[in-house]
Amino acid sequence: MLGGIAEAMSHVVLKATDDFTKPGVSALVLSGHLAAFMFLGQAMKGMPIGIVHALWAGLAIITVTLLSTVIYRQHLDLTIWLGMALVAIGIAMINISQGHSH
């Protein structure tokens, strides 16, 4: 979960780097990605790689979408929100599955 959040935060901040010409913001993006991979590696110690990656990517997609809507005031139509709901349902299904252990 922390890996997905770190990834999402760094993706949202990426827009503010202005092609990596702003050192402080760029450092934030790079440290966010590093943190995401560190958390991802920790999660892989106890869970199958495919499950970890699916959860990480799905959580990042939803979080980036929500944050970009709030921070950058990006308008998304109903079809996109429906897709986000399906991603969330998929994440929930993976988490409640008996096919893996945490």
Domain extents in the chain: 2-96
Q: What is this structure's pTM?
A: 0.75
pLDDT value at residue 24: 95
Spatial contact of 59 and 8, defined as CB atoms under 8 Å apart: yes
pLDDT of residue 99: 58
- Give the pLDDT confidence of 59-89 residue by residue, as tens digits: 888 889 889 999 999 888 999 889 989 988 9
Asked which of 45-54, 66-75, 93-102 is least confident by mean pLDDT, the reply is 93-102
pLDDT above 70 coverage of the chain, percent: 95
Determine the Cα–Cα distance for residues 97 and 92; give it in Å rounded to an integer: 9
Instruction: Kindly state the average pLDDT of the residues 2-30.
Output: 92
- Is residue 64 within 8 Å of 8, Cβ to Cβ? yes
**Core vs surface per residue 76-99: b (16+ CB within 10 A) or e:** eeeeeeeebeebeeebeebeeeee
